[in-house]
Amino acid sequence: MERKLYEASKSGDVNLLKGLLEEDSILLNRVITSFEYENPLIIAAMCGHVEFALQILRRMPELATQTDQKGLYPLHLAAQGNSTSMVKMLIEENPDVCSLTNQDGRPPLHLAAMKDRSKIMKILIQKQPKAIQMQSEYRGETILHLCVKYNCFDGLKLLVDELRNEHTNEESIYLVSEDNKESISVNSRDGDGSTILHLAVARRNMKMINYLLNSNIRVEQNIINNKGFTAMDILIKSDQRELEDMEIQDILREAGVLQSDALQQFAGSHHDDQKLNYRPKDEISTTTRKHKFDAKYDVWLKDNKNTLMVVSSLIATMAFQGALNPPGGVWQVNTFILMGLLQVAFVFLILILLIMCMLDQP
């Protein structure tokens, strides 16, 4: 009988379910205590069989709070799928399941974000707005971090709008509340001390970077994570350079994002904390613009160092070769002219070698 119920769960055969339960009224009770077969509600939720799942819940509501072998509840599985009807049905039957967490401490809303299910996220938020404030036990990630990490852009915008509506004080979306340190904001940090701007830059997600910096989101641009990195540090000090890095670097500079060493110099006369408050674009100081020019020059010099060394070597070789093999008649005309050319070539070669040594400095 258990095997037949398992097959009915996979196919969503409601008539077969009713027939099995009429034949064996305690079938569902036996399945709960069985280690051989999966919870039929979990299978139905995973497959999107809404009517089948509803019939199961009405006969045994406690199955909604039973997990599978991986610690996932039926709503966790439904939140990762495409069936908005299944999600609506499960939370209508038992709204409390929105707050249930899996083995990593993640509620269904987090899993929906990880699968880029923005429509399902909206349903879950409407039913249980407090789920937004839940943080994962794994790495201390907020729902905002997961949206950036898993490229759920529509979900990120949805959450930012929801946070705006949730707080009468607009600043609450930008700063962690003093009354509730656990409340999340666009400047919340994960277990590594990184904000969503750090993550967006690390993933070279230009769409999210532009949204965070240019859409009045007002993220704090220069927060330093546990490794001592600002968002600019993450980009510049990356082991792998991408084609779009220069464009991202320009976007960050225009928004006033600095490297940590420049930040320390700039903030020397300010407070001793590790971050700068938000500054609009028109308040970027002369120091920031100077750093922008210097950093661009440093990047150009590093990128073209090898080219300059090759060109310098070629020039030195050509000059020396010209001295050794002058045009016809030079040997015969004047030996002193030849010696002069050799002296000039030697001096020129010394200068080129000095330039190459300077370029080779870190």
Contacts 24+ apart (CB under 8 A), 52-55: 52/8, 52/9, 52/12, 52/13, 52/14, 52/17, 53/86, 53/89, 53/90, 54/89, 54/93, 55/14, 55/17, 55/18
| Cα–Cα distance for residue pair 60/71, rounded to 1 Å | 19
Q: How far is CA 112 from CA 79, 119, 120, 156, 224, in A?
A: 5, 9, 7, 12, 29
First-to-last alpha carbon distance for the chain, in angstroms, is: 74
Confirm if 281 and 255 have CB atoms less than 8 A apart: yes
Q: For 25-60, how does the pLDDT look when each residue is reduced to its tens digit (9 = 90+)?
A: 888 888 877 766 788 999 999 999 999 999 999 999
DSSP 303-355: HHHHHHHHHHHHHHHHHHHHHHSPSTTHHHH-HHHHHHHHHHHHHHHHHHHHH
- The SS3 call for residue 292 is helix
Average pLDDT estimate for 328-347 = 58
Q: What is the pLDDT of residue 271?
A: 52
Q: What is the pLDDT of residue 287?
A: 45
| Cα–Cα distance for residue pair 125/122, rounded to 1 Å | 5
Q: What is the pLDDT of residue 302?
A: 54
Q: What is the pLDDT of residue 319?
A: 59
Of 10 and 360, the structure prediction assigns the larger pLDDT to 10
pLDDT of 208 over the 70 cut: yes
Q: What is the pLDDT of residue 293?
A: 47
Of 293 and 84, the structure prediction assigns the larger pLDDT to 84
CATH superfamily of 1-135: Ankyrin repeat-containing domain (1.25.40.20)
Q: For 14-23, how does the pLDDT look when each residue is reduced to its tens digit (9 = 90+)?
A: 999 999 999 9
Query: For the chain, how big is the Rg over CA atoms in Å?
Result: 32
Average pLDDT estimate for 179-206 = 88
Query: What one-letter code names the amino acid at 316?
Result: A
Q: How far is CA 167 from CA 109, 131, 151, in A?
A: 20, 15, 25
Q: For 24-34, how does the pLDDT look when each residue is reduced to its tens digit (9 = 90+)?
A: 888 888 887 77
Q: What is the pLDDT of residue 158?
A: 95
Q: For 210-249, how does the pLDDT look when each residue is reduced to its tens digit (9 = 90+)?
A: 999 987 887 999 999 999 999 999 999 887 777 889 999 9
**Rounded mean pLDDT of the chain?**
80
